[in-house]
Structure 1
Amino acid sequence: MVISRFKYARLLLAIRRVIRNDHLILMVLALVVGCASGAAVVAFRETIEIFQSLFYGSGHERLSQHVTGLVWWHVLLAPTVGGLIVGLFIYFFLPNRKPQGVADVIEAEQLHGGWMSSRVGLYSAIASALSIGAGASVGREGPAVHLGASLGAWLARRLQLTRSLNRTLLGCGVAAAVAASFNAPLAGALFANEVVIGHYALKAFAPVVVASVAGTAISRHWFGNFPAFALVDNPLASFWEFPAFVGLGIASAACAILMMHSIVVASDLSKRTPLPSWLKPAVAGLAVGAMALMVPQVLGVGYGVTEDAMLHVYGFGTLLIILVAKIIATAISHGYGFSGGVFSPALVIGAVAGGAYGIVATSIFPELSSGVPAYTVVGMGAVAASVLGAPISTTLIIFEMTSDYTLTLAVMIAVVVSSEISHHFYDRSYFVRQLRERGIDLKEGIEAEVMQTITVNAVMRRNLSTVSMGTDLETLRHLLQDSTVGEIFVVDNDGVLHGTITLPDLSEFAFDHDLDGLVNAGDVARTHPPMLTRHDDIETAVNLMDTSGETVIPVTENERDRTLIGAVTHDDVMTEFNRVLMERRREELGHE
């Protein structure tokens, strides 16, 4: 392992000798990550087709049409057996025996300096391909993002790059994966910066764009250059129709909130179900298979269903049935342990909700309506934006997936309305809610990462005023006056911390010299003060200071050995925190 890393480090050094500019080197690495992620997305999609062919006898995206020709027990058995295989695979190969997704990518980017396991990335992709191939109501874009991110993180780790460059290359993998999945280079670049990286600094944005274009090129070479959905033009009939699009934004927010909350409810129900975790996906598969006997549109990613909704194939009643069934199937699939994303289900739910809304709106104001297909496109964008928490990149994704620029204004209005409502009544996105349930608050972002990476050992003071337990009061008075931290530390003969003394601790003895020979340090010291170890981070230190009310905390070697080795002050902690934070900000902005 050490030899391998040494070889990669020498490779980076050789590149630097040829290309004497770190920004150009980053561009080259972004190109490599973009091509690798694009190829990985191609392989991932082909693997899904293989698994789907094994389960259903067809790898076509219009799975709902194919299963209508299968016997009932086949439709019921395929997702059940697939769920059992997925459950066992996740149980034995994935950390914490849980699927991985976009939330884990965001956590790695924001809190772990871009570190991700390439092995977990590969296993997660296999679990997701099995889930989608078996017909689970999950998306393929989230797993593609996780796979691309893990490739970028792998290269950064091999080359032993800085944390800032680690995060940038992880973002490059995300951008390339999104771009390759949707044939959408603009959306891929913006999604990576909007959702994962969290800023648009040129140092990060430029390589992300390079990776996004590279991923798109690989995808187009394999799948061809055409939009995901082939539609006729949908020109806006009238600006008087915009209030209807605002109403669709409200309805889309309701659908998005219902979808996300349903997944949370199903997850809670799964936790209370007295079954082993590896068996729960099989239960979900059985439920989805039973639903598919009546509503086959719930199976798989559902792009065929989305396109049919756009082409006005379904009537109002059918659209409502698909809407309810797809939300339930998605909740069960995610809640009970299938591996996959949420974008594809959000598109299906948005399309059928938009189609149903469009039928009603068109029947009321036929002369002002742009047609039902227009409402399906707008509904797709509005629901997906609320779920992803990415209004800008989602608008671009819809545009690049449909090649329909005329509806952009309508999509933008509905996306803004839907995003604001879902943000206010639920959360910023499904991924943010996932992280919040883990106790992670992204509002702290890089600040939390900085506080968790600086150790107490780096900021503690080692030159302290220490006294023995027999030190007299007169000496204590002089030492407190000269102390730079306003505190004295009392130790025994072995250097073990006995307690601390501050001026308030001497309040009743401070000016009574008659007690100088009667009272010593051991008598006035506060025993069992709050303590830290050298390996604690400064986040732990700040929290301890807040709860204890102390501004100076003694530091010991470890929790068992109370030997005093230093102390930290609130001022020193915050000074170091601000210094490192400013360094990170300069790195992000590309300043040396």
Structure 2
Amino acid sequence: MPVRRPLGDWLRERGSGLMFLALVIGAGAGLGAIAFRWLIKWATLVLSGHADYSATPGAGHPWLPGWGSWFLLLAPVVAGLVYGPLVQRFASEARGHGVPEVMYAVSERGGRIKPQVSLVKTLASALCIGGGGSVGREGPIVQIGSALGSTFGQWVKLPERRLRVLVACGAAGGIAATFNAPLAGPFFAMELILQSFTIESFGAVVLASVMASVVGRAVMGNEAFLSLPAFHLHSPAEFGLFAVLGVLIGASGVLFSKVLYLVEDVCDWLWRGPEWLRPAVGGLLLGGLLLVLPQMYGVGYPVLADAITGNYAIGFLLLLMVGKMIATSLTIGIGGSGGVFAPSLFVGAMGGTAFGLAAHALLPGIVASPGAYGLIGMGAAFAGAARAPITGVIVLFEITDQYSVILPMMLAVVVATLVSRTLSKSTVYTTKLRRRGIDLEASHLRGSLPDSTVASVMEELPRTLPADTRLREAADTLAASGHDVLPVVDSSGQYQGCVTARAVAEELGKNERVSDTVGQLAELPDTVSSETKLVDALEVLVGAEGSGVPVLTADETELVGWIRHQTLLSSMRTAAHAS
């Protein structure tokens, strides 16, 4: 009779167990997204008197007759007085835009997130957005879903490898349900949260996304997230304009990230009081901005839709674009809780539509739909800020249901991503972690490698080959050495490069005249010195012809050792056991 495995072992060890957990987390993330949107609606209704104040900017609060729009000065303050102490007391991770904290938890903490983060983030972000905070819903819902996945995974004692996947499942489910975007959820999770791709993890996040979408659609319907008129390309010549748009809006996405952290630095420098009071006091500044530009209240999707459908002039579009950068940065800087994905879409929509209107005025025979440029600008701005081109293309297609602009969207997003890489090392998400001294890109590449130099692990230098060594003799030396590559030196002992056994064998096997000495076959691999970090040495080894490379002194003038793939693997195993 087959041995029955305990339920816990099945969940922890079997692929089918992980898929079951993904479905559970997807359903939970879907319910969380529904609850979160409901809380935002009611918080907005209580604090502004409207279900979405940005749909009627400048209106008065119906519960406060005679106040007019002056209630906007106090709405962020009241919200801050509630969520500020809540965040400070129970989960400081709930402050800010959320996604960096999830990325850090997956990369550096094995997917472990405090259980209370889900509840605190839900309440804090709903109050912040409902009180006029000019932030998005995606950061909070990613953190909420991820915390749910982490909590459940820790409860069933999943190993870290699978716990990370379950965190990504929560993120994917949250995105899928809140935006009705079942395709965007998995790619967001893979591209930004896990930053890797395996069949098992992709299958799990897809199942979570599907389940969350089913739950979300059962309650919120199956309409596209943004209802926009159909856009079509008028001329193939527009592709050149879309490339220019990618450059400009990609740079705007980078600018948005820079402004965000600049304003946050200024707020940190100015504030000297207790952190729990910071959102309320800073709320006075935010309220003052809302009095001047009430379109910045909350997420602002109605304003975004009005812009793309052509209801605003170029000057006002640019004002809204700059205003959103400042309003979002101020909301985060004063300690607010919310995402930056929706604001980046807003920035792109304003800038893109302004570009489209200008292009239409100059080239009316080529540009027929200025709104299409706003739609494509949304994806380009997100690509410039977050450097996630796949997610940018897919999520914009899903939330707008505009397949007709998919080709120019792909072009603009790729151009914007390249511009972003040129202008900045970090994204709007990774900058927050880099400022704490955490480099996720290096950490992901390093894996389990210790953060030390080659000098700590290098081996003794194998026998060198003089440059004038005959090929037959070199072949014998290589065979006896146990290495498939050896360093080559000249008559004075100066390093000339390396020669591989394969290169020697190929030359000896040719029918035509062969090279006489190894000096003619020597190639210079990328340099590794004794001071090189192990993670950088790994990159050199991956691109090297043989299984090892020589190690030079720090001034790269003298051979001092040798490093092999096996050496780094041993270092990784040692580090893993030590941890």
For the criterion TM > 0.5, the same-fold answer is: yes
Secondary structure, aligned partner of 1:118: coil
Q: Show the counterpart of 1:481.
A: none
> What's the CA shift for 1:409?
0.9
Secondary structure, aligned partner of 2:441: coil
- Correspondence 1:513-524 to 2 at 5 A: none
CA RMSD of aligned residues (A): 2.9
Answering whether residue 250 of structure 2 is matched by residue 257 of structure 1, we say no
* Mapped contact 1:99–1:124 kept (Cα < 8 A): no
* Mapped contact 2:94–2:124 kept (Cα < 8 A): no
Secondary structure, aligned partner of 1:185: coil
Q: Show the counterpart of 1:316.
A: 314
Answering whether residue 330 of structure 2 is matched by residue 332 of structure 1, we say yes
Q: Show the counterpart of 1:381.
A: 379
* Mapped contact 1:234–1:374 kept (Cα < 8 A): yes
How far apart in 2 are the matches of 1:370 and 1:409? 17
Does the C-alpha gap of structure 1 residues 452 and 337 become closer, same or farther in structure 2, counting only changes over 3 Å?
A: farther
How far apart in 2 are the matches of 1:322 and 1:41? 28
- Correspondence 1:128-139 to 2 at 5 A: 128-139=125-136
Q: Alignment partner for residue 435 of structure 2, among 437, 449, 453?
A: 437
Does the C-alpha gap of structure 1 residues 447 and 369 become closer, same or farther in structure 2, counting only changes over 3 Å?
A: closer
How far apart in 1 are the matches of 2:575 and 2:177? 34
Q: Show the counterpart of 2:265.
A: 268
Q: Alignment partner for residue 149 of structure 1, among 146, 152, 157?
A: 146
Q: Show the counterpart of 1:216.
A: 213
Q: Alignment partner for residue 14 of structure 1, among 7, 25, 32?
A: 7
Answering whether residue 137 of structure 2 is matched by residue 140 of structure 1, we say yes
How far apart in 2 are the matches of 1:424 and 1:284? 34
User: Structure 2: any 5+ residue segments left out of the alignment?
Assistant: 62-67, 452-456, 458-533, 536-553, 555-563
Does the C-alpha gap of structure 1 residues 99 and 320 become closer, same or farther in structure 2, counting only changes over 3 Å?
A: closer
Partner amino acid for 2:37?
R
Residues 359-399 of structure 1: CA deviation (Å, up to 9, x unaligned): 10111111111411101101111101222221101110000
Secondary structure, aligned partner of 1:69: coil
Q: Show the counterpart of 1:50.
A: 42
How far apart in 2 are the matches of 1:247 and 1:155? 46
Q: Alignment partner for residue 182 of structure 1, among 172, 179, 193?
A: 179
Does the C-alpha gap of structure 1 residues 174 and 20 become closer, same or farther in structure 2, counting only changes over 3 Å?
A: closer
How far apart in 1 are the matches of 2:392 and 2:191? 10
Q: Show the counterpart of 1:480.
A: none
* Mapped contact 1:288–1:298 kept (Cα < 8 A): no
Residues 248-293 of structure 1: CA deviation (Å, up to 9, x unaligned): 1122122212211111111111121143223332243222222222
How far apart in 1 are the matches of 2:17 and 2:162? 11
Q: Alignment partner for residue 54 of structure 2, among 46, 63, 66?
A: 63
> What's the CA shift for 1:576?
3.9
How far apart in 2 are the matches of 1:370 and 1:355? 12
Tell me the percent identity: 35
How far apart in 1 are the matches of 2:5 and 2:312? 56
* Mapped contact 1:195–1:389 kept (Cα < 8 A): no
> What's the CA shift for 1:97?
8.6
- Correspondence 1:470-549 to 2 at 5 A: none
* Mapped contact 1:111–1:448 kept (Cα < 8 A): no
Q: Show the counterpart of 2:544.
A: none
> What's the CA shift for 1:89?
2.2
Secondary structure, aligned partner of 2:364: coil
Q: Show the counterpart of 2:405.
A: 407
Q: Show the counterpart of 2:99.
A: 102
> What's the CA shift for 1:574?
4.5
Partner amino acid for 1:345?
P
* Mapped contact 1:152–1:172 kept (Cα < 8 A): yes
Answering whether residue 365 of structure 2 is matched by residue 360 of structure 1, we say no
Residues 168-192 of structure 1: CA deviation (Å, up to 9, x unaligned): 1111111111111211111111111
Q: Show the counterpart of 2:484.
A: none
Residues 38-64 of structure 1: CA deviation (Å, up to 9, x unaligned): 11111111111111111011223x535
Q: What is the aligned residue count?
A: 462
Q: Show the counterpart of 2:193.
A: 196
How far apart in 2 are the matches of 1:436 and 1:204? 26
Q: Alignment partner for residue 119 of structure 1, among 116, 121, 138?
A: 116
Q: Show the counterpart of 1:464.
A: none
Q: Alignment partner for residue 69 of structure 2, among 57, 69, 72?
A: 72
> What's the CA shift for 1:140?
0.8
Does the C-alpha gap of structure 1 residues 82 and 377 become closer, same or farther in structure 2, counting only changes over 3 Å?
A: same
How far apart in 2 are the matches of 1:72 and 1:28? 50
* Mapped contact 2:94–2:121 kept (Cα < 8 A): no
Q: Show the counterpart of 1:342.
A: 340
Secondary structure, aligned partner of 2:310: coil
Answering whether residue 82 of structure 2 is matched by residue 85 of structure 1, we say yes
* Mapped contact 2:8–2:156 kept (Cα < 8 A): no
TM-score of the pair, normalised by structure 1? 0.73
Does the C-alpha gap of structure 1 residues 452 and 341 become closer, same or farther in structure 2, counting only changes over 3 Å?
A: farther
Partner amino acid for 2:265?
D
How far apart in 2 are the matches of 1:149 and 1:327? 27
Partner amino acid for 2:7?
A
How far apart in 2 are the matches of 1:218 and 1:26? 20
User: Structure 1: any 5+ residue segments left out of the alignment?
Assistant: 1-10, 454-458, 460-537, 540-548, 550-569, 584-592
Q: Show the counterpart of 1:32.
A: 24
How far apart in 2 are the matches of 1:251 and 1:279? 38
Does the C-alpha gap of structure 1 residues 373 and 575 become closer, same or farther in structure 2, counting only changes over 3 Å?
A: closer
Residues 205-246 of structure 1: CA deviation (Å, up to 9, x unaligned): 111110011111111111100111112221111110111111
> What's the CA shift for 1:323?
1.3
Q: Show the counterpart of 1:171.
A: 168
Q: Show the counterpart of 1:236.
A: 233
How far apart in 2 are the matches of 1:185 and 1:97? 25
> What's the CA shift for 1:21?
8.2
Partner amino acid for 1:153?
S
Does the C-alpha gap of structure 1 residues 257 and 580 become closer, same or farther in structure 2, counting only changes over 3 Å?
A: same
How far apart in 2 are the matches of 1:378 and 1:73? 36
How far apart in 2 are the matches of 1:251 and 1:220? 36
Partner amino acid for 2:148?
L
* Mapped contact 1:358–1:371 kept (Cα < 8 A): yes
* Mapped contact 1:395–1:412 kept (Cα < 8 A): yes
Does the C-alpha gap of structure 1 residues 577 and 54 become closer, same or farther in structure 2, counting only changes over 3 Å?
A: farther
* Mapped contact 1:143–1:341 kept (Cα < 8 A): yes
TM-score of the pair, normalised by structure 2? 0.75
How far apart in 1 are the matches of 2:5 and 2:386? 36
How far apart in 1 are the matches of 2:410 and 2:131? 35
Does the C-alpha gap of structure 1 residues 216 and 97 become closer, same or farther in structure 2, counting only changes over 3 Å?
A: closer
- Of stretches 570-579 and 84-93 in structure 1, the one that deviates more from structure 2 is 570-579
